[in-house]
Amino acid sequence: MAAPSHSPETGKPPSAAPSTDGWRFRVFFDGECPLCRREIDLVRRLDAGAGRVDLVDIARPDFDAGAHGLDQETIEARIHGMLPDGTVVEGVDVFIHLYEALDRGWLVRIAQVGLVRAVLDRLYTWFARNRLRLTGRAPKTCEVPSSDASSKTC
């Protein structure tokens, strides 16, 4: 998805309009991921109870990706967010919309600079692929020597 456009008058990205529930941006996050929880804790502090951001934990047993027009496998592979109009964004665009909703325009402007954005996209893609391993949640694999199946190393 494209990053937010800039206002010709101010040169700044426009603030997201609030939804009918008051939120400007919905974030789907993995509550079992320690790094994700830290980021969400920061978001909660920045939002300071204003309700600008709707936080949805995809690790909760009652979470239903289909209720948001998404599927569980896709939403677990990369971070996703939703604008009040139902538009779904993913990856770095989530962070751009998220911090815009929190009125952190300076951070949004930095993230949209060509080279910075390219680096952020690559870093996030790498992180998304490796987050389970990086957070100690990767599936355990064992090597089973072909000569003696009873001596596996995990």
Residue 91, domain member (yes or no) = yes
Query: Tokens 């206002």 label which residue?
Result: 7
Full domain range(s) for residue 52: 25-133
Residue 19, domain member (yes or no) = no
Residue 142 confidence (pLDDT) above 60: no
Residue 17, domain member (yes or no) = no
107 pLDDT band (50/70/90 cuts)?
Answer: confident
Token reading at 10: 């101010």
**Residues 90/5, Cβ–Cβ less than 8 Å:** no
Residue 152, domain member (yes or no) = no
Residue 104, domain member (yes or no) = yes
Strand partners, 90: 80
Is the pTM above the cut of 0.75?
A: no
Residue 20, domain member (yes or no) = no
Residue 111, domain member (yes or no) = yes
2 pLDDT band (50/70/90 cuts)?
Answer: very low
Close Cβ partners of 131 (under 8 Å, ≥ 6 residues apart):
30, 33, 35, 36, 137
**Secondary structure of residue 70 in the 3-state scheme:** coil
